[in-house]
């Protein structure tokens, strides 16, 4: 990990921790309708989500909405893989304080799937800075193809160009409180028409 990336992570995490509850909640409300109108979401059979922490873009309503939309919801396991989960089911605290399904069995998600990924910083090339440690890079290396990777982020977290390591896994899209941004090589199955979507 580069010194530059470490500095960006520290700066942006501190800035995010300082967000007011109103700003965080408003971001969650803004992202939800964009996600529900997003073509890769509409054709997905499953959603891989996360339990938000440190003022990350909230996911509780997104995951509950996915269940209502008859999608299978998975959460990542810090030991590797993903496990099925429904809102209200027990959570355990994994490595690094990450909340994950308790008493769970890892499995491959149903395909096609949409993966919602927490973001500390992002750019239009799909490069993402996360909490550190490369957890999501290792996770996606173990999952089958057919998963559209979507970073959930705030506008202030955008950089013109982030430092990138060879093992970094790119996001296909980033959804913020204002827009949907296609990044890098968007997979054919996730291609969208710009008309009718707030793409930039």
Question: pLDDT in tens for each of the 200 residues of the chain?
Answer: 577 888 999 999 999 999 999 999 999 999 999 999 999 999 999 999 999 999 999 999 999 999 999 999 999 998 889 999 999 999 998 887 789 999 778 999 999 999 999 999 999 999 999 987 788 999 999 998 999 999 999 999 999 999 988 888 999 999 999 999 999 765 545 544 443 344 54
What does the block give as tokens for 151? Answer: 């970073």
Q: Which domains does the chain have, with CATH numbers?
A: 3-190 (3.40.50.10420)
Whole-number Å distance between alpha carbons of 122 and 25: 20
Four-point Cα dihedral 45, 92, 81, 25, nearest 10? 50
Four-point Cα dihedral 129, 131, 134, 136, nearest 10? -80
pTM: 0.89
């Amino acid at each position: 990990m580069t010194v530059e990336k470490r500095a960006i992570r520290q700066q942006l995490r501190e800035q995010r921790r300082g967000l007011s509850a109103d700003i965080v909640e408003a971001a969650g409300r803004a992202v939800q309708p964009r996600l529900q109108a997003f073509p890769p979401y509409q054709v997905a059979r499953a959603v891989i989500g996360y339990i938000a922490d440190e003022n990350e873009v909230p996911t509780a309503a997104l995951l509950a909405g996915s269940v209502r939309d008859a999608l299978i919801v998975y959460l990542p396991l810090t030991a590797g893989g993903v496990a099925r989960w429904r809102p209200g089911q027990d959570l355990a605290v994994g490595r690094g304080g990450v909340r994950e399904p308790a008493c769970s069995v890892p499995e491959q998600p149903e395909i096609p799937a949409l993966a919602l990924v927490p973001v500390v910083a992002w750019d239009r090339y799909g490069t993402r800075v996360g909490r550190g440690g490369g957890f999501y890079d290792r996770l996606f290396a173990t999952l089958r193809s057919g998963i559209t990777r979507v970073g959930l982020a705030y506008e202030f977290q955008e950089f013109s160009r982030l430092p990138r390591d060879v093992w970094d896994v790119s996001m296909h899209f980033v959804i913020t409180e204002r827009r949907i941004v296609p990044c890098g090589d968007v997979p054919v199955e996730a291609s969208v028409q710009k008309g009718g979507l707030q793409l930039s």
